Structure 1
């Protein structure tokens, strides 16, 4: 991408998008976002850009999505996975499990819980997330309610947190500060735009394994192709048969699995493949922040009630699949078995408590520095 194009103002990009849509390229889309992330665009221009992208169906074009994700990452704060005792290679596999949201099911915080259980089982997990936007309780909301100070985590903290806990949370607002220019416009528009699918593609750690849930089946192959363009390998895009952005506990889940050579393989899976019973999605729904917090505590301390069994099994299949994709399990059933043993051991609760304590210490250090 040449320097002249990079300097092109969003107004000119928007004019091109509206008046010459057939000649609008991924490079133009990236240039438009570049202008926004430099703070050069007005609210009207940003609103027009997002609306035009949606009307032109950019969220169904892998090349466009990949270009926007690349631009976001080029402006992100990228952690260096290196400590005094570990190099990037020493960290080995670093994984994530995340969904686009927007599926309307308002299930319990499955990916957040699964990330903790998988980390407690030994998989290094860098969880990218934010507060709730389309649900009652987002990943950050839940972890913060349990004593985790997420906003204090900076790029320089990530490697040590992963080394100590096998887990770190990367708050999207911290690691993508330039996206603040779009926040108000996206909120006020009130409809989904292509930027709603970029979060799972823009984890600044750039994990080498991931499970990404999407909110509609047609988006599955689009997201997989975008990931392939971005050079991601050993990633799995999943969508429950109910248009759920997780592996469904109720029945079939569609999978688009990008292998190590970049080939996209489509297949379906179901709870019985994990040795787990099916449950209706209504039995695994989320509720208020307080209720979800209490449910998570019961899950992680192995003190579930009869009403928690569907959610427990929901966590087992999603954690099991993450462990399978992450190379820690040779089959889906083995992955679920590892997840079950980890939950029963209490290790996930120990991990959460340790991670929370470390982030509280980081907060205390910051307070001491600023006072």
Structure 2
């Protein structure tokens, strides 16, 4: 591994900080991109220079600049461990075809928050991913808790009965999608292995760096069709939507609940600020970026769901949260439960952004129907079965029978495929 210096870049950042007119030039973006390519795997950068770069980007405010964030995200994803996917696999191709519904094309989706909003709420994004899985191909990217009681992977581990669920090799993910479930959990450290060497530096710095910003954007799987990103303050909403736009995302929404300084999910207690990417019209030239539409969502007005105080949606321990999720998946939670409604509006929003329906209330009804038929539970059980089959690289065993019927024309087939009879794509 070659050693190289980023001292010239650090001098450039010092000049930027001192400049009266601060302009993010293409040269600056190129230099920062090269530095992170080195840090993430192509060369050896000293801890002193790593710390200096992260500090400079934070205190110049450049760690929140959309051009720079999108460049670093691209570099992170290029350095990440790949998820092998065989799009020519008959079962996988059939699953994608059967999942198509209205403007959803059967691609991967994700829902994730930045964290760090200080509210310590329930594992809403992870639960919403589970609830949406009968209708969408969900590649949930997540990590351990950094600032909350229960992070995404902490709750998933508790739900699965142990951390073994996080050790699934990337090579198994595509096979699980093809044969077992519409759902997979991508544990961030498994894919972003180069970040391990930065852990000590980041801990010693003691403040947020650009890695706190780019993490939620760095899902390693290819072919993400739609995503929802929750941000911890309203100022980040425009940044993240512009980053998604620059990444070429055509379906996406950034959300920030109007609670305190901000809530990184759709709020159960009032309005939520939204920045939604609207796909370029059919026939647009290749490379045409999506447009960004700003608006607000409200639980009652838009989703038909009652308001709940955020205090009733707090996170407990990972195991306590997992017990609540089990009750939700088994359809044992009474209507009007605060956490249930909190998850309903967020999972419903994912269906709308993906294009399953264009009506927020209709999306809520779809999620409810899936819960009534325990379709989300079956997708989770299918994922567990797939993980067990591939945990020792033994290849697939017997695919468990998963049979249920959901109204509105959606049927869960024996291999976890969601077939849509309503749009004639069976």
Find the residue that maps to 1:255 and give its secondary structure: strand
The range that moved more, 234-243 or 191-200, is: 191-200
Answer yes or no: is 1:45 the counterpart of 2:73.
no
* Structure 1 match to 2:193: 177
For 2:122, which of 95, 108, 119 is the aligned residue?
Answer: 108
Higher mean displacement: 308-317 or 83-92: 83-92
Alignment correspondent of 1:331 = 359
Which deviations, in whole Å up to 9, do the C-alpha atoms of 1:37-58 show, x marking residues without a partner?
1251222221111111100101
Q: Deviations over 1:205-264 (max 9, x none)?
A: 141100111110011011111111111111111110111000001110111011112100
Q: Which residue of 1 aligns with 2:240?
A: 223
Note if 1:33 corresponds to 2:49.
Answer: no
Contact 1:146 1:356 in 2 (8 A): no
Give the match's secondary structure for 2:84: coil
For the Cα contact (< 8 Å) 1:252–1:268, is it kept in 2? yes
Give TM-score, length-normalised by structure 1. Answer: 0.91
Aligned CA distance change for structure 1 residues 89 and 127 (closer, same or farther; 3 Å): same
Aligned equivalent of 2:208, options 171, 187, 192: 192
**Contact 1:8–1:31 (CA<8 Å) still a contact in 2?**
no
Match of 2:143 in 1: 130
TM-superposed deviation, 1:339: 0.9
Q: Does 1:319 find its partner at 2:347? A: yes
Matched residue, 1:71? 75
Tell me if structure 2 keeps the 8 A contact 1:51–1:193: yes
Instruction: Name which one, 1 or 2, has greater alpha-carbon Rg.
Output: 2
CA distance in 1, matches of 2:204, 2:370: 43
DSSP 3-state at the match of 2:316: coil
CA–CA distance in 1 between the matches of 2:119 and 2:73?
26
Partner Cα separation in structure 2 for residue 157 and residue 365 of structure 1: 8
Give unmatched runs, 5+ long, in structure 1: 1-5, 367-371
2:273 aligns to what SS in structure 1?
strand
Show CA shifts across 1:9-33 (max 9, x none): 3343323323555567111211121
Which residue pairs with 2:99 in the alignment?
none
Paired residues of 2:258 and 2:273 also in contact (CA < 8 A)? yes
CA contact (8 A) 1:250 1:278 kept: yes
Task: Give how far 1:336 is off.
Answer: 0.7
Q: Which runs of 5+ in 2 are unaligned?
A: 20-24, 97-105, 281-289, 395-426
Structure 1 residue 351: deviation in Å?
2.0
**Residue 369 of structure 1 corresponds to which residue in structure 2?**
none
Deviation at 1:87, TM superposition (A): 6.3
Give TM-score, length-normalised by structure 2.
0.79
Q: Which has the higher helix share?
A: 1
Rounded Cα–Cα distance in structure 1 between residues aligned with 2:6 and 2:66: 22
d(CA) in 1 for partners of 2:8 and 2:169?
A: 35
Distance of aligned partners of 1:88 and 1:34 in 2 relative to their CA distance in 1, 3 Å threshold: farther
Cα distance in structure 1, aligned partners of 2:54 and 2:31: 13
